[in-house]
Structure 1
């Protein structure tokens, strides 16, 4: 049950129309941004809530019980508020969002109506649409480990232990051409086998995408050219001369962990776990029944 200040409740009961919505966004880097749908900026608890941001909110679906509250926020990209480059850099991924109902005549009278985080962000031409997820949504996340043959660590994290600053798994390159389908022709990778960086990541160090990352779909050598294909495209247009660091990818298989990374001691999968066909197998007349391993038969 919400604790509504007595004076605010009285204004609500009287049908007062001096209410507006305010949003406080706390980004991944700790920076806080305030926005309001009021026609002028407000200061609430020492935080400025900008009115000129072009921000508006879709109707929040406030649920009861343990169902997740869902909503969306629409807004315009601007140089001094929510910038496209910051979205591309991931600063708003999982950012905390608080929504308040505020009396703009008395900003000390406010009511918290939503607390959650930003989920998926979709960008358009000069605008964005952000999904809001409530704290209850965290309860929908899987807990614990699912055992499988593939490794469940992230390449380079503490559980994996591979040093991605090692030149065996990281290289510098430059875009020399761009093919019609968006495939990048690059240099700087001649010392590495074709496919070495497939499934990896490009960390852009120069050009319009500097500071952002792009996932790699393929890495091939053809007709003397080194070709890199992006999985979903870069945040901004790639240009000839753009520089990058490319980081090797991992397909999570035991064979790759052993042969490519020499890291099988840290492999976090279970390559010999029985499959469903083995679990449902049964003895047949005429087969060898000597107590040996069915895995090797």
Structure 2
């Protein structure tokens, strides 16, 4: 339940109010941005909130129980503070958003309505719609380990223990040409077999995309040279000459862990987990199933 400061509560009980909404967004990189549906810049609680034309919010509901409350915030990409490239790069994924109710005529009067995280962001016709989820959505996430044949560690993390700095598992390259943003002809990878960097990642080290990451869907080595296929994104295509650092990926199977990384002792899956065929394989017509041992 929102508790309104005494001065703001008194203002809300008056015949005429001068209130607006402000959204304070904190990205995972700690960058803080403020936006408001008011028509001028406001300084509230130490943050500058920029007005954005067409910025609005849908109905918000606070419900009892464990259901996830959501609200959509919609706006036109008319400010340098928000742009398509940053959204495509995932800079706003899982950012925290604090919603404030502010008396714009006296900005020291404000109340915090809710805290949320950004869920799904969609873009259409030059505008964005960001879904804000209440923090209770974290209770829907899977916690603990899932028993499966495949590995549930991330390549190179503390559980995997593979050193990503090992020779031969990363390389520097450059773009020769780009048929599309996802289909690239590159140099610098001629010493590696085709498929070696499949499921890996690219960090751009120069050009307009410098500092951004992309994921490798395919790595082909042919007579025409080396071709990389990146996972689809809305980022612009790299330019010829743009350089990158590419790292190998892992398909999470025991065979790959053993043959490609020589890391079988640290495999974080259960490759010999019996499946349904093994579980039901003992059931043979005519056998006696009286609760006794199946194996003598």
Instruction: Map 1:248-287; keep pairs closer than 5 Å.
Output: 248-284=248-284
1:192 aligns with 2:196: no
In the alignment, which residue of structure 1 is the partner of 2:6?
Answer: 6
In the alignment, which residue of structure 1 is the partner of 2:65?
Answer: 65
In the alignment, which residue of structure 2 is the partner of 1:176?
Answer: 176
In the alignment, which residue of structure 1 is the partner of 2:136?
Answer: 136
| Per-residue deviation, 1:290 | 8.9
Question: Does the C-alpha gap of structure 1 residues 53 and 163 become closer, same or farther in structure 2, counting only changes over 3 Å?
Answer: farther
Question: Does the C-alpha gap of structure 1 residues 38 and 233 become closer, same or farther in structure 2, counting only changes over 3 Å?
Answer: closer
CA offsets 1:97-132 (integer angstroms, 9 cap, x no match): 000111112222222222011122334565433221
C-alpha distance in 2, partners of 1:9/1:166? 62
Instruction: Map 1:1-297; keep pairs closer than 5 Å.
Output: 1-52=1-52, 55-77=55-77, 80-123=80-123, 126-179=126-179, 182-233=182-233, 235-284=235-284, 291=295
TM-score (norm 2): 0.88
Aligned pair count? 291
C-alpha distance in 1, partners of 2:177/2:258? 35
| Per-residue deviation, 1:256 | 0.1
Please tell me whether the aligned partners of residues 53 and 81 of structure 1 are also in contact (alpha carbons under 8 angstroms): no
CA offsets 1:227-259 (integer angstroms, 9 cap, x no match): 111111362222222211111111000000000
C-alpha distance in 2, partners of 1:161/1:131? 36
Segments of structure 2 that go 5 or more residues without pairing to the other structure are: 288-292
Question: Does the C-alpha gap of structure 1 residues 182 and 41 become closer, same or farther in structure 2, counting only changes over 3 Å?
Answer: closer
TM-score (norm 1): 0.88
C-alpha distance in 2, partners of 1:158/1:127? 40
Segments of structure 1 that go 5 or more residues without pairing to the other structure are: 293-297
